[in-house]
């Protein structure tokens, strides 16, 4: 379809600004922009149609099953959006006086109290804008903790090889050396490897539990003990919290800090890639290092902010992605403790059900039960038929569903990772299993066809290699002029 620039008509105009009644003020010529930006020149009709057409080329959770593993693509209640669009929230300035923003600060405090209780932490900040941002803050807390204790040799962060890419990337950003440890055969942390890795240079461990294979590491207390025993701290990547609300608290597992992806577990929509929010909770030992402007309940019953001179500093502007937190609070308020627990239970139920349906066809990457997601390996299918995980995933599109996550975690070959979430009904899971069965049957009879999937979409598979080799990152206006 056309780009907005290709719909543009020279001289056509869009929305008008109010004319200022103020006198035209002079501007020094040298300050003035010379080349006007070539923005699209569209009428409102054009804008409406352009974005309607674009939306029709997007598959959202509202279009069907979206089992994108590790991303918790649950259905997000419409009421979240209504709450976030209340003018009392969307129309207030971040720097307006605290007395005039009591409701906003109270919302932050309430959200923090509820979430701290849920994950077993003592304090929480909402400044980080996403999970990775939260991880970064978490590691800075750990860094500052060791520093303040004069424990300056602790420069290493241990990360299992099953970890999400943000974990090692974050550790690097925080100035640590990353120690990757291999997983045990069953996908859990290899305790021996962990014991071997820890030492006086250990700053901490980053772990997600359930991990990216969807396994709850039953040795979790031992793991955190080993790290603590060596003087390190434990950081919990909470991206998979949707499995264990009401079933296990990171705080009780022995973690010292945690981030929660509010846009995953707490049902704020994903927006095509964001915005999210990466709430960071911690135990008392780390509290002093949290960013300033910490929302607090004051002695007189009002709400305000607290600063600490030990803070690692600010993570971004203002109080984080406020409206995302507000959506999460709406969700938590509606579900309540009981509802959150049920949500996790159903997420786990759904994942195990789908896994059971697929078991005979697709070898799961591990034994036993899974938590809210599971990984299958198509390695043998690939060997037998030449059909790859990618081919199967793309064929899923032709069946009217969003593919599972492909090729993650990296430790499983030809991996597909399914996370159905609790908001899907049995019939959707049945249909998904049926679709996989059909695809696998076709893989045997007509493997070439699957290499071409999807065929029901406006475009086929794009040339991604070409895109990276010869990057075209913006519209080329000279093209149009020819």
Partner 1 sequence: MGNFLPSTDAQCKEMLNVIGVSSVGELYADIPRAMREKAAEAVNELPKGVSEFEALDAMRALAKKNRVFDAIFRGAGAYWHHIPAVVSRVAAKEAFVTAYTPYQPEISQGILQTIFEYQTILCELTGMDAGNASVYDGATAAAEAAAMCRERNRTLTLLAGGLNPESIETVRTYSFGADAEYAIVPNKEGRLDLDALKTALNTGVASLILQSPNYFGVVEDIPAIAELVHAAGAKLVVSMNPTAMVLLRSPGECGADVAIGDGQPLGIPLSYGGPYLGFMACKKEMIRKLPGRIVGQTADAAGRRCFVLTLQAREQHIRREKASSNICSNQALCALTAAAYCSAMGPQGMGEVARACYDNAHYLAAKLGKIKGFELAYPGAPFFHEFVTGTPADLTERALKALGEKNILGGLPVEGGILWCATERNTSAQIDALVETVKAVIA
Ligand X SMILES: Cc1ncc(COP(=O)(O)O)c(C=O)c1O
Contact residues for a second copy, defined by CB under 8 A: 9, 12, 43-46, 48-49, 52-53, 56, 60-64, 75, 77-78, 423-427
Site for ligand X in 137-196 (CB under 6 A): 164, 166
Report the partner that residue 237 touches, choosing among partner 1, a second copy, ligand X, none (CB closer than 5 to 8 A by kind).
ligand X
Report the partner that residue 448 touches, choosing among partner 1, ligand X, a second copy, none (CB closer than 5 to 8 A by kind).
none
371 near ligand X, rule: CB under 6 A:
no
Beta bridge partners of 305: 295
237 near ligand X, rule: CB under 6 A:
yes
* Beta carbons within 8 Å of 348's beta carbon, 6+ residues apart: 243, 370, 371, 372
Report the partner that residue 10 touches, choosing among partner 1, ligand X, a second copy, none (CB closer than 5 to 8 A by kind).
partner 1
What's the first-to-final CA gap in the chain, in angstroms? 19
Instruction: Determine how many CB atoms are found less than 10 A away from the CB of residue 106.
Output: 15
Window contacting partner 1 (CB under 8 A); options: 200-208, 374-382, 435-443, 471-479: 471-479
283 near partner 1, rule: CB under 8 A:
no
Least distance to ligand X from the beta carbon of 371, Å? 12
Write out the two tokens for 47: 């804008």
Least distance to a second copy from the beta carbon of 57, Å? 11
Q: What Cα–Cα distance (Å) separates residue 288 from each residue in 125, 143, 249, 277?
A: 12, 13, 22, 21
Residue for token digits 């070898």?
Answer: 363
Between CA 240 and CA 71 the distance in angstroms is: 9
Q: Are 283 and 251 in contact (CB under 8 A)?
A: yes
Report the partner that residue 313 touches, choosing among ligand X, partner 1, a second copy, none (CB closer than 5 to 8 A by kind).
partner 1
| Of residues 60 and 200, the one with the C-beta less far from partner 1 | 60
Strands laid side by side in the 405-406 sheet = 374-377, 415-418, 405-406
| Of residues 132 and 230, the one with the C-beta less far from ligand X | 132
143 near partner 1, rule: CB under 8 A:
yes
Between CA 8 and CA 86 the distance in angstroms is: 34
353 near partner 1, rule: CB under 8 A:
yes
Task: From 347, 321, 316, select the one nearest 268 (Cα to Cα).
Answer: 321
Least distance to a second copy from the beta carbon of 307, Å? 37
Window contacting partner 1 (CB under 8 A); options: 193-201, 212-220, 229-237, 439-447: 212-220
Between CA 47 and CA 139 the distance in angstroms is: 44
449 near partner 1, rule: CB under 8 A:
no
Q: Which of 148, 149, 175, 384 binds partner 1 (CB under 8 A)?
A: 175
- Given the DSSP bridges, would you call strands 278-282 and 123-125 parallel, antiparallel or unpaired? antiparallel
Least distance to a second copy from the beta carbon of 48, Å? 5
CA atoms within 13 A on the CB side of 464: 2
Report the partner that residue 234 touches, choosing among partner 1, a second copy, ligand X, none (CB closer than 5 to 8 A by kind).
none
Q: Which of 77, 120, 131, 269 binds ligand X (CB under 6 A)?
A: 131
214 near ligand X, rule: CB under 6 A:
no
Least distance to ligand X from the beta carbon of 391, Å? 24
Report the partner that residue 273 touches, choosing among partner 1, a second copy, ligand X, none (CB closer than 5 to 8 A by kind).
partner 1
Binding pattern for the stretch 14-53 against partner 1, x by CB under 8 A and - elsewhere: xxxxxxxxxxxx-xx--xxxxxxxxxxxxxxxxxx-xxxx
Between CA 351 and CA 369 the distance in angstroms is: 9
* Beta carbons within 8 Å of 338's beta carbon, 6+ residues apart: none
For 417-445, the DSSP string reads EE---TTS-HHHHHHHHHHHHHHHHHHHH
Least distance to partner 1 from the beta carbon of 26, Å? 8
3-class DSSP assignment, residue 482: coil
* Beta carbons within 8 Å of 100's beta carbon, 6+ residues apart: 92
Q: Which of 182, 200, 229, 466 binds partner 1 (CB under 8 A)?
A: 466
Report the partner that residue 64 touches, choosing among a second copy, partner 1, ligand X, none (CB closer than 5 to 8 A by kind).
a second copy
């Amino acid at each position: 379809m056309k780009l907005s620039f290709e719909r543009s008509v020279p001289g056509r105009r869009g929305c008008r600004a109010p004319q200022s009644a103020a006198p035209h003020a002079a501007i020094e010529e040298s300050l003035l922009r010379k080349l006007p930006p070539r923005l699209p020149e569209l009428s409102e009709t054009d804008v409406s149609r352009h974005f309607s057409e674009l939306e029709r080329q997007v598959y959202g959770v509202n279009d069907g099953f979206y089992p994108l593993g590790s991303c918790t693509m649950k259905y997000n209640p419409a009421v979240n959006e209504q709450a976030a669009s209340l003018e009392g929230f969307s129309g207030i300035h971040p720097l307006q006086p605290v007395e005039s923003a009591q409701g906003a600060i109270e919302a932050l405090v309430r959200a923090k109290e509820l979430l701290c209780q849920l994950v077993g932490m003592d304090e929480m900040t909402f400044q980080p804008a996403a999970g990775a941002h939260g991880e970064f803050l978490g590691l800075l807390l750990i860094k500052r903790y060791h520093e303040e204790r004069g424990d300056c040799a602790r420069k290493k962060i241990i990360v299992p090889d099953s970890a999400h890419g943000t974990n090692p990337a974050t550790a690097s950003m925080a100035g640590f050396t990353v120690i990757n440890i291999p997983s045990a055969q069953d996908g859990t942390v290899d305790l021996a490897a962990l014991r071997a890795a820890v030492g006086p240079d250990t700053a901490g461990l980053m772990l997600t539990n359930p991990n990216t294979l969807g396994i709850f590491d039953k040795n979790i207390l031992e793991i955190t003990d080993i790290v603590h025993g060596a003087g390190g701290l434990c950081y919990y990547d909470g991206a998979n919290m949707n499995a264990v609300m009401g079933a296990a608290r990171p705080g009780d597992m022995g973690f010292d800090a945690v981030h929660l992806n509010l846009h995953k577990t707490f049902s704020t929509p994903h927006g095509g890639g964001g915005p999210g929010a990466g709430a960071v909770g911690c135990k008392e030992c780390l509290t002093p290092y949290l960013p300033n402007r910490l929302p607090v309940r004051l002695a007189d019953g009002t709400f305000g902010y607290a600063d600490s001179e030990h803070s690692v500093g600010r993570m971004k502007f203002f109080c984080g992605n406020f409206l995302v937190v507000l959506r999460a609070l709406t969700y938590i308020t509606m579900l309540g403790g009981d509802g959150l627990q049920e949500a996790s239970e159903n997420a786990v139920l759904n994942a195990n059900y789908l896994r059971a349906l697929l078991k005979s066809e697709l070898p799961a990457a591990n034994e036993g039960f899974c938590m809210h997601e599971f990984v299958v390996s198509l390695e043998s299918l690939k060997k037998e038929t030449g059909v790859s995980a990618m081919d199967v995933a793309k064929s899923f599109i032709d069946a009217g569903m969003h593919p599972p996550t492909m090729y993650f975690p990296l430790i499983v070959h030809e991996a597909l990772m399914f996370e159905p979430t609790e908001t899907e009904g049995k019939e959707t899971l049945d249909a998904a299993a049926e679709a996989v069965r059909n695809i696998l049957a076709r893989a045997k009879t007509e493997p070439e066809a699957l290499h071409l999937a999807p065929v029901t979409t406006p475009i086929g598979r794009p040339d991604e290699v070409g895109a990276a080799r010869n990057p075209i990152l913006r519209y080329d206006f000279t093209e149009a002029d020819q």
